[in-house]
Amino acid sequence: MSDSSPSSGAVLTVPAGLAGAERKPAAESYDKDELMVQQQFDELLERCAPICKSEEDYDRIRQAFYFANEAHKGVKRHSGEPYITHPLAVARIVVVEIGLGVKSVMAALLHDVVEDTDYTVEDIEHRFGAKVASMVDGLTKLEGAFSQDISKQAENFKKMLLTLSDDIRVCLIKIADRLHNMRTLGAMPKHKQMKIASETIYLFAPLAHRLGLYTIKTEFEDLSLKYRFPDEYNQIKQKLADTEPQRLQFIEKFNPPIIEKLKENNIEFEISGRVKSVYSIWKKMKRKQVSFEEIYDLFAIRIVFKPSPLIPEKSQCWHVYSLITDIYKPKPDRIRDWVNIPKANGYEALHCTVMGPEGIWVEVQIRSVRMDEIAERGFAAHWKYKMEGKGGGEVGGDNELDQWLAQLREALNSPSEDAVEFMDNFKLNLQVSEIVVFTPNGESKTMPKGATVLDFAYEIHSKIGNRAIGAKVNYKITPLYAEIHTGDQIEILTSQNAHPQVEWLDHITTAKARTHIKQFLKRDGENNILRGQELFEAEMKKRGVPLQARVFRKVLPAYHSSSKDEFYSKLGAGIIRLDGLDKILKQNAASKIMKYWTLQFANPFRFLSSSSGTDGHSAEADEYEYVMAECCNPIPGDEVVGFKMDDGKVEVHKKNCHNAVKLSAQHGDRIVPAKWSSEKVMSYLAVIEVRGIDRVGILYDLAKIISGELNINIRELHIHSHDGIFEGTISLYVRSSEDLKVIMDKVRSAKGVEKVNRTEASMVD
């Protein structure tokens, strides 16, 4: 930029009323912090050149900076830097990485002023206008105390999302705020890292993906993994660095024929190789139970072309595809056509997988310049092109992203008394693996992968869903709970006598269906809950058993209920009976009860309190009883984390357990850092899956290896055979993850056994 640029080193004038915020006339008069802040602000102004249409725009950004700088004066971040560096960084992300405008930059600079200082939203409105004040208000956390059964995190998140009805930019600025917090998370204490990283992977990464911010979503995932599982993150990152020369060598063989072909056809393009993210590699390793070396699709080739204005972009994508497949043969079942039917987050591209040199399959992604900008910048770029009326046909219309926003606004306007439930329903709205199905008249509907007939019924209309009894899928009668697939044509069958049932909640995947079913059941079920509670309390009174948390930990899973209200409702409606209650109450808890120990106790587990120092060695630590979570069955050697429950006990989960991530995102203040201490002879339940070639005596051999040779107690063994293949699960008691590894290696060596895995908690998508 020239010296006359608004972002040059000229002296700036401070708006009236901000005494003490004047700039120093020369760099020598700055201390080190002031100089750093000024340099960062000058860089921000340079980056704002594309969005500032006049000197007035620059002045408004300057005024917001001066105001925020004065408001945060003297405050430091955990890293030791002046606090104002955080709003500056957020504003830079907003303009450079997301592509928002002047008001968004101002709101980013001011986003913590109301929360952290004595200034109010009214002060912001008086100085900067109603729109900027409204955005800052949406970004400001809730004040006041919350009772223990309310998640403050969920309430804050809900408040932010409620502003979505008016201004999507609030969400985008919040994403920028979270991105900078994640980039600087190393300065925070370990338990804070766990809380923030879990919130990020549970909600912010899916939200960024749904809004089309693929690059930011990927960084969220990688940084979350870095702080939740640092060793695994560093190992994968190192292996990617070690194998980079081989990848580059392969690309040098793969790309030249494509480059030559595209040039022959006078196509302007850029071609690049994109390596899979650390998180996506880690997730695939866990899901498929394979090593890094067994993952072959570590990278993809991306072609971004400049389209001819005379030919539709879709046609040009397919032209590029045909040129590539003239060179390399495609894999027919690996074509992903997101140019004719874009993803719900606005993503458009054509993906194919071709056989490259040396017999290696390679994914090739084909995009126009417009598609690429939308893929990288998401919602902001989508709206830019929509307003300009450019692009591939659907951009000017009501596309999938607009439909999703309309659905989200509908959900946000629905009454919800429980912020945690609201958060969970919103999480369902963020699903991005999609299928496309059709109504009887040929209208297409995008649904999440795994959706059922019942989900589709509610997608059409809540009245259709509430009266649904089945469907005709591709002209065949199909039950409500059947999963639907891409290309299905679905006609919903209804009856005036039908109405939602509690068990419907177990057979849906969409937030829309869940919301409408729960609303109906709530109206219909309040009496059932009261009746069920009276019945259960009477039965427990007969037995002289007090209604404690340990009772519900046995009863709820036994009756397939996720909460007391669900259990009471089912009981009151006559869906369940209390047959077998005595047997259930007599069962031992699946977890052992242990203590929150200090150094002098030689017990197998030690919890670390936040006041204990880095190694948790504190003689002053409070004592807690704890239970092992049944959802993931942690054993010594697993990385674990604890959560304080309402009854004062601590529930221990494996760190990669889906429920652990969910609890961290919703109740981060209940996290109790935990680690294994000195070992004691004690057994823990673990489950392994086995698969292989069926033969006579395989069951005997497995039992002999586990119980005979290794002297391990088997709790349950389920094996079934089909088409010459056997598969099943073995539940057994072990002392540690190392012991389990020995057992798995031994079982794996048995004749005919092809695969042995430990069953893991479900991964976070």
How many CB atoms lie under 10 A from the CB of residue 238? 11
pTM of the model: 0.66
Q: What is the dotted CATH code of the domain comprising 27-228?
A: 1.10.3210.10
Sheet architecture: strand order including 476-478: 476-478, 468-473, 490-494
pLDDT at 20: 34
Number of helices (H), then strands (E), in the chain: 28, 19
pLDDT at 615: 39
- Please state which of the ranges 314-323, 387-396, 522-531, 659-668 shows the lowest mean pLDDT: 387-396
pLDDT digits (tens, 9 = 90+) for 88-105: 999 999 999 988 899 999
Q: How far apart are the first and last CA of the chain?
A: 43
Q: For 32, phi and psi rounded to 5 degrees?
A: -60, -45
pLDDT digits (tens, 9 = 90+) for 12-23: 333 333 333 333
Please say if the pLDDT value at position 310 is more than 50: yes
Adjacent-strand bridge partners of 676: 605
List 42, 59, 81, 116, catalytic entry: 116
582 catalytic? Reply is: no
pLDDT digits (tens, 9 = 90+) for 34-77: 899 999 999 999 999 999 999 999 999 999 999 999 999 999 99
The listed range with the strongest mean pLDDT (65-79, 544-558, 733-747) is 65-79
Instruction: Tell me the domain boundaries of the chain.
Output: 27-228, 231-388, 433-499, 518-578, 605-676, 684-758
Superfamily in which the 231-388 domain is placed by CATH: Beta Polymerase, domain 2 (3.30.460.10)
State the Cα–Cα distance between residues 588 and 592, nearest whole angstrom: 9
Give the mean pLDDT of the chain.
Answer: 79
pLDDT digits (tens, 9 = 90+) for 650-706: 888 888 888 888 888 777 778 887 777 654 556 778 888 898 888 888 888 888 888
Adjacent-strand bridge partners of 471: 478, 492
Please say if the pLDDT value at position 5 is more than 70: no
List 115, 166, 582, 716, catalytic entry: 115
**Mean pLDDT of the 165-174 span:** 78
pLDDT digits (tens, 9 = 90+) for 381-402: 666 666 555 544 443 344 555 6
Q: Is 693 helix (H, G, I), strand (E, B) or coil?
A: strand
State the Cα–Cα distance between residues 371 and 155, nearest whole angstrom: 36
Q: For 760, phi and psi rounded to 5 degrees?
A: -105, 160
In the block, residue with structure tokens 């695969």: 755
- Please state which of the ranges 9-18, 378-387, 443-452, 621-630 shows the lowest mean pLDDT: 9-18
- Please state which of the ranges 14-28, 78-92, 223-237, 536-550 shows the lowest mean pLDDT: 14-28
Strands 725-734 and 684-693, by their bridges, are antiparallel
* The CATH number of domain 433-499 is 3.40.50.300: no
* The CATH number of domain 684-758 is 3.30.70.260: yes
How many CB atoms lie under 10 A from the CB of residue 703? 14
115 catalytic? Reply is: yes
- Please state which of the ranges 111-120, 264-273, 563-572 shows the lowest mean pLDDT: 563-572
Alpha helices by DSSP H, 163-213: 169-183, 190-199, 205-210
Strands 490-494 and 468-473, by their bridges, are antiparallel
Cβ–Cβ < 8 Å for 753, 728 = no
Q: For 601, phi and psi rounded to 5 degrees?
A: -95, 130
How many CB atoms lie under 10 A from the CB of residue 619? 8
